[in-house]
Chains A and B, each alone.
Chain A
């Protein structure tokens, strides 16, 4: 029973391609996030959605576009991939009203060649 699941786990693609990472949570949470972990393991929030509404949009290139079709899903689409986009992308979710503990998915390892 994976609480936060994201696919694919590994993705190798060429520069200039467009790719998507999908995320689903079965915890009934109202908030979902995308975090990026760089090569130095630093984790930084990219986006957050609360009840399908964009709340946080950190300084991220507009090639990155999140989409939340419903509360349980938050997908990340990346256009015109660049070498510097290589990273691990983590989806996460929380329930704001009951304490806001954030639960993470297993991560998606993106390598741009």
Chain B
């Protein structure tokens, strides 16, 4: 069965500092990986996704993520965070072309930005 682990429940970062959110997945087939962000009281917004090809993918809002098959990881990074980045971040895995199985989500990382 597929699973996603986000080991950090909370992360606090100073505004302007760099950020890395960790994500590890377990999946039997070729994974299809996503990062979503959820601001308080809002829905989920897609930040970026990885299907295949270049293992470093760029997303919206200055985020990027790197797929490392050997480590089963898909960590999210941003070089300089802004106060508006405070939110809940979810990593998810699905099957490429896997039909209507949907995604399996990690439990989320709550990002706090210090002024």
A-B complex is real:
yes
Question: B-contacting residues of A (Cβ < 8 Å)?
Answer: 31, 33, 35, 40-45, 48-50, 55-56, 90, 92, 94, 96-97, 99-107
- The answer, yes or no, to whether B99 is at the interface (CB within 8 Å) is yes
Contact A41:B88 (CB < 8 A) given known A48-B100, A56-B102: yes
- CA gap between A101 and B49 in the complex, in Å: 8
A106 touches B42 (CB 8 A): yes
- The answer, yes or no, to whether B90 is at the interface (CB within 8 Å) is yes
- CA gap between A45 and B105 in the complex, in Å: 9
Contact A41:B43 (CB < 8 A) given known A50-B100, A96-B97, A99-B51: no
Please report the total number of B residues contacting A with Cβ < 8 Å.
28
In the assembled complex, 5 residue pairs joining A and B whose CB atoms fall closer than 8 Å, in A order, are A43-B44, A55-B101, A92-B102, A99-B32, A105-B43
A102: contacting residue among B88, B96, B97, B102, CB under 8 A:
B102
Question: A-contacting residues of B (Cβ < 8 Å)?
Answer: 32, 34, 36, 38, 42-46, 49, 51, 88, 90, 94-105, 107-108, 110
A49 touches B100 (CB 8 A): yes
Beta-carbon nearest neighbor of A53 in chain B:
B100
Beta-carbon nearest neighbor of A43 in chain B:
B105
Residues of B within 8 A of A41 (CB): 38, 88, 107-108, 110
A106 touches B43 (CB 8 A): yes
- CA gap between A94 and B103 in the complex, in Å: 11
Residues of B within 8 A of A92 (CB): 102
Residues of A within 8 A of B95 (CB): 100
Beta-carbon nearest neighbor of B88 in chain A:
A41
**What's the nearest-Cβ distance from chain A to residue B4, in Å?**
10
Beyond known contacts A41-B107, A101-B34, A102-B103: 6 more, CB 8 A cutoff: A41-B88, A41-B110, A45-B104, A99-B51, A100-B96, A104-B43
